[in-house]
Chains A and B, each alone.
Chain A
Amino acid sequence: MSSARATRWSLPALCAALLACQPPAADRAMPPKQLYFPSGMFFAQPEPISAPRSGALFVASSNFDRRYDDGRMTGIDISALSCSVAPAGSCLPDFPANVMSRYPDGNDFPLESLGDGAIDEKVLASLAGEMDGIETTGGVFRLLVPSRAENSLLQVMDATGHRITCRGEGATDDCSVGAIPLEANRTTTSGVPRVPAPFSVSISRPDGDAFVTSLQFADSPAATGQNPAVFTVKLNALNPQVTDDSFINLGNIRSQSVAMGSRYAFMTGAQGLALRLIDRQSAKRVINAAIELDFNLLETRGLALAGDQSEVFVAARSPDALLQLHVRGAATDTPSFSLAHAELLPLGASQVRVMDKPSGGHVAFVTSLGSQSFDAVGQTQGSLVVYDDEAAQQVAILDGFGLQPYGLALQPIPPGVRLYVGLFGEGRIAVVDIPDLDRPEDARLVARLGTSHVCVTNPSSRGCAALNP
């Protein structure tokens, strides 16, 4: 292994080891109604969509610095945020809301202002990653959340409205209890297969097939650093069981995010396998899309697949960019790709979501973390980029509205969309409205939910001073 590759692998491993070895301290419960380093997000809206005010937003707090004992899953009843029921000044205006007059301040409200009935909270293992959900029956959503903390758990829960039920055996309020360990083979002779540091999950609709990615390689035997291999887990979200047969060897380049297509699971990673496809019909068949031949990048992060699978949008790092790839034969034995467009992005390109425009074409949304400094101001705090593939242009960039925009959840409200943007660095959710996707440049920040945790994590930072002038 080259020294650079060894460094690449050893640094995350060292960080993970240091974090894992922190002695647990007593009484480190996360305050109620607090979001803390939100990572995974999912908007649950039963079909057919009955009213724009309905639905539930689920936010996984990753407890990234492990200040608290555990992470958290928060379910928020969107209807309870509406200005028709919530107190004036602490409510979410109906869609489409007006632009905030004092951008970015002016419509910020903590979750504490909501009644207890509007919020549901369950415990998660720390370091939760990207989550996904699928509607099962009767408006019940099955949610999957991987966590990179001890035992590398995949947590399963059901949600009715915003109410969460942990599905692990013996679990009540702690969804890590009875969760599926993805490193159970660590103690076996070979130590594999296993998925250390599971990060992203995507569920195929309606069949429920799901894949989980892994940020780290699994060594064999465990803790030897030998025979590195990266595995993914394939399971069914509707009947989640994991055996050794569920693991698929992907080679020795880590995987990052995943998006499910009808035939293939699309996975991002790093140079060499920046985009790979795992054949859902023959799981041992892995196709390298070889996008590095057309765009010389170092690694890839989030991705999103258009509804008709004709396009895939990939966020790249070094340089930060949004790549739009044409996909041909996405449901055939021989899919092919071509780079249609590359759009340079602000620092820290992360999550991607895509929606169809009413008149044709797509609008992609990308979060960028910015400089990842708690003293950041303006655009260095991070950005939300709106890209219109018909014009092949970035048509809107929102920035300066919070630290480290990362997670994305979409609430389609035809002809527009309401976006919930997780502000990873400050523990809040920004709400952005686009009234009409045919005019995606008309993106506006309309509210921010939650209480900033900047003064908890960095009391002396400029971000805290800005909150408490």
Chain B
Amino acid sequence: MSPSSQAVLTRRRILPYALGAAALVAVALACSQAGTPQPGGISGTYDMARVGDYVFVTSADLSELRVIDAHGDGGPNGAGPRDWVRAPNPLQALEIPVDGRPVGLVKDLRYTDVAVDDVTPAGGEVAGPYVYAFAGGRSQISVVGADPAIFRQVQVLPTGAPVTAASAQGPSGAGASSTLYYATLMGGAGQLWAVDVPPTAQLNVPEPPALSPRMLLQMDAGEAISALQVLPTRQELAVATRAALPDGGVVTGRTFALLPSSGATRPLAFGAPIRILATHPGTSDGRFRSEEKLFGVVDEDSCGGGGAPNCARILTVDVASGQPALDFTGQAALPIPFPRGLPRALTFMANRKVRSNLAPLDAGGLADLPLVGLVTNTDGELVFFEAVGRPVLGTEPVPDDGGLPDVAPQWTLRHSNQEFLPGVGTGFFYEDAGGAAFPTLPPQAGCGEDAGVGQGLQQCSVRTGLGTAVAEQVTILFEGRIPDLIDVFDMPMTPADEQTFHASGKPVSRAMPGARIVLSTAAGTCGEVSMTSISGTDLMTTDPIPPGCTNRTSFTVRAADPEPYVVLGQFSGYIGRIGDQASRDFPGTPYYRPDPVVSGGVIPPALRLEMGIRTAGIQRDFRWVFQTSTGFQPLFFSLSTDPTTGWPGYHLPYGVAAMPDAPRIFVSYPSVPRTPLLGTGAVIELNPTLMVPSEANVQIGAFYR
């Protein structure tokens, strides 16, 4: 046998096996398609934009966009998974090359009052012809066709300076142009531009006309434009700016609505600098129209940063009046706070239900929220909040059949509470000044009418207020030092001045007559006196100054009778004072407005507690310590990143898009570890009616990589 014929034979022998192996691979791929869309190799998945049935996502590290075909009837039996839009060669996912490294993505936005199709209900967003891709530090914007027939970059708009924000308004009708608004930063000052983008028939040609931007506004020196949001119904543009005072000064900003046709502006009273703006679709029942409210994510640089109390938050204004929006109580809506992290993306989902721990079983465990806000946060959570909810007032009529009352939707702005246990105190212990815990608590007398007389803190008395309480460690110190009145620098200039203690800028009202003022010299503590009065910013005593304290350098105030206990919170700081055989309500800052049927329409105290008689043997700095819970838990989704059972690397959600025709949310994760086949990006598909609320989830609809 010749070598060549041997080779042919070898090939013939191998061929059936190769074909068999290929068939197995094909079958395996076909099977895996049912659960996992084919890999697209994306990397740098940041912003997302839904246009009709298509969801665009950046693949920034590859300078391209990818598109998910999110048709409701995608996948086997119409149950998904949906898939990447395929390239002309369907083995490959379609890649839309764009210039630069796109991180930001905006779409043409317009709303309709009448239902157009499945993904365009009344009040919904109307698909526009383009999406626009840009990135900080880049002086260009890519204009990309959003129609499946034109999924490609049709124009690159040079902007002359780095782009800081963009927003686009869809065409008012057939043959009309879209309008792209964008902001640039040049020499430390923002500039606002508008450019008309003609219909695809004019732009998707071999030699398209050049786009002609026009400047709308030139900001002051040091003032950058941080966010833009078109308000297409009103033909306005919301603009948020940021200015930082030199040398680490306070960050300020203003937000206003601009009518581009006239140049007129009017303020939007957020009351804080804003770095993300978003408006919303309407509900399909017509009760809440689109674009009624404008939401803003506060620039955390203005209030201490992520993790600072009451800093990261979402505010809302009424678009028509420009004033803070009023919620179902008729009061200005409370902010949506984020105790940790920085919100990254904000969008809305209308006419949908979400799984909720507090939803009645009769409702299938689903909360009916006419308008849900979706926020990705850098702490790893996708937060769902009520932008129109169904707060139970307690006045709803019960139907004749005895079923659940029909709770009407009400304008709200609040987290969706998921905690069913009331806020209490737990983990009580009592310890001495050195931190050594006593084996048992001082005698407890119980609570209620039949209660006896206990000593010190009565643990059953501790209650926290829903919507005001802080989850923290609370310490109650006997004759404790009063915060901010500790080691106050004070040197009397004259002998007459020795009985006056200067505490300018200090919270002197925390002290009360009888408090002990402990004096110190450079050598240390030298004695103490009793405070007798307060005058303005000064504390006074009539006690003689101890001989060793005539050259004092500082003083500290300690609590004393009649309220010798100082109540401190790990995060709240100074909470207040209390005396023996007293009960006290300590107010807090409201952050959540419960259903009136729960709260009775009043703001509960953050902490309520009761002290018995003085504990035998108690000494200065002996203390009770316990942990409070709040009865409050926001509704969020997060992915388990367990390396074996979860989704390792899926720890930072970024972009989010919701489908209007089905309970389907797409979330991008730019944090996924790179593999030889797959990039560092991923998109997951989430069904909000099937998720486990406010816990790390393992099950999701599908993932796209």
Docked Cα-Cα span, A393 to B304, in Å, equals: 18
Contact residue among B100, B340, B680 (Cβ-Cβ distance under 8 Å from A347): B680
Docked Cα-Cα span, A338 to B226, in Å, equals: 20
Docked Cα-Cα span, A392 to B651, in Å, equals: 24
15 sample A-B contacts, Cβ–Cβ < 8 Å, listed by A number: A293-B379, A294-B307, A319-B680, A320-B670, A338-B311, A344-B103, A360-B245, A361-B244, A389-B244, A391-B185, A393-B162, A395-B136, A395-B162, A396-B137, A438-B187
Residue of A4, A340, A379, A399 with highest tally of chain B CB at under 10 A: A340
Q: Which residues of B contact A388 (CB under 8 A)?
A: 185, 188
Cβ-closest 3 pairs across A and B: A360-B246, A338-B305, A394-B137
Assess the B246–A293 pair: CB atoms within 8 A. Answer: no
Tell me if A339 is interfacial: C-beta within 8 Å of chain B: yes
Assess the A347–B643 pair: CB atoms within 8 A. Answer: no
Tell me if B593 is interfacial: C-beta within 8 Å of chain A: no
Docked Cα-Cα span, A66 to B49, in Å, equals: 47
Q: Which residue of B lies closest to A440 (CB)?
A: B188
Assess the B224–A360 pair: CB atoms within 8 A. Answer: no
Chain B residues 643-689 with CB under 8 Å of chain A are 643-644, 648-649, 651-652, 654, 670-673, 680
Docked Cα-Cα span, A257 to B319, in Å, equals: 48
Assess the B671–A319 pair: CB atoms within 8 A. Answer: yes
Contact residue among A295, A396, A441 (Cβ-Cβ distance under 8 Å from B378): A295
Assess the B138–A346 pair: CB atoms within 8 A. Answer: no
Assess the A347–B43 pair: CB atoms within 8 A. Answer: yes
Chain A residues 361-414 with CB under 8 Å of chain B are 361, 371, 378-380, 383, 385-386, 388-397, 399
Given contacts A3-B644, A294-B342, A396-B137, list 14 more A-B pairs with CB under 8 A.
A2-B643, A293-B340, A296-B380, A320-B670, A338-B300, A339-B306, A341-B300, A343-B136, A344-B670, A361-B248, A385-B137, A391-B188, A394-B136, A395-B185
Q: Which residues of A contact B654 (CB under 8 A)?
A: 319, 344
Question: DSSP majority for the B interface?
Answer: loop
Q: Which of the four size classes fits the interface of chain A?
A: 35 or more
Q: Which residues of B contact A391 (CB under 8 A)?
A: 164, 185, 188, 224, 242, 244
Tell me if B308 is interfacial: C-beta within 8 Å of chain A: yes
Q: Which residue of A lies closest to B671 (CB)?
A: A319
Tell me if A332 is interfacial: C-beta within 8 Å of chain B: no
Tell me if B269 is interfacial: C-beta within 8 Å of chain A: no
Tell me if A297 is interfacial: C-beta within 8 Å of chain B: yes
Tell me if A205 is interfacial: C-beta within 8 Å of chain B: no
Assess the A294–B340 pair: CB atoms within 8 A. Answer: yes
Assess the A379–B340 pair: CB atoms within 8 A. Answer: no
Docked Cα-Cα span, A388 to B301, in Å, equals: 13
Q: Which residues of A contact B672 (CB under 8 A)?
A: 318
Docked Cα-Cα span, A378 to B63, in Å, equals: 10
Docked Cα-Cα span, A391 to B244, in Å, equals: 7
B77 to chain A, nearest CB (A): 35
Tell me if B368 is interfacial: C-beta within 8 Å of chain A: no
Docked Cα-Cα span, A343 to B670, in Å, equals: 13
Residues of A within 8 A of B (CB): 2-4, 293-298, 308, 310-311, 318-320, 325-326, 337-344, 346-347, 359-361, 371, 378-380, 383, 385-386, 388-397, 399, 438-439, 441
Docked Cα-Cα span, A361 to B250, in Å, equals: 11
Docked Cα-Cα span, A37 to B525, in Å, equals: 61
Assess the B248–A396 pair: CB atoms within 8 A. Answer: no
Assess the B299–A392 pair: CB atoms within 8 A. Answer: yes
Docked Cα-Cα span, A311 to B344, in Å, equals: 21
Residue of B46, B305, B342 with highest tally of chain A CB at under 10 A: B305
Contact residue among A341, A342, A360 (Cβ-Cβ distance under 8 Å from B248): A360
Docked Cα-Cα span, A389 to B249, in Å, equals: 12
Q: Which residues of A contact B46 (CB under 8 A)?
A: 344
Assess the B671–A294 pair: CB atoms within 8 A. Answer: no
A203 to chain B, nearest CB (A): 25
B252 to chain A, nearest CB (A): 12
Contact residue among B161, B224, B648, B651 (Cβ-Cβ distance under 8 Å from A4): B648
Tell me if B186 is interfacial: C-beta within 8 Å of chain A: yes
Assess the B248–A294 pair: CB atoms within 8 A. Answer: no
Docked Cα-Cα span, A343 to B138, in Å, equals: 14
Tell me if B101 is interfacial: C-beta within 8 Å of chain A: yes
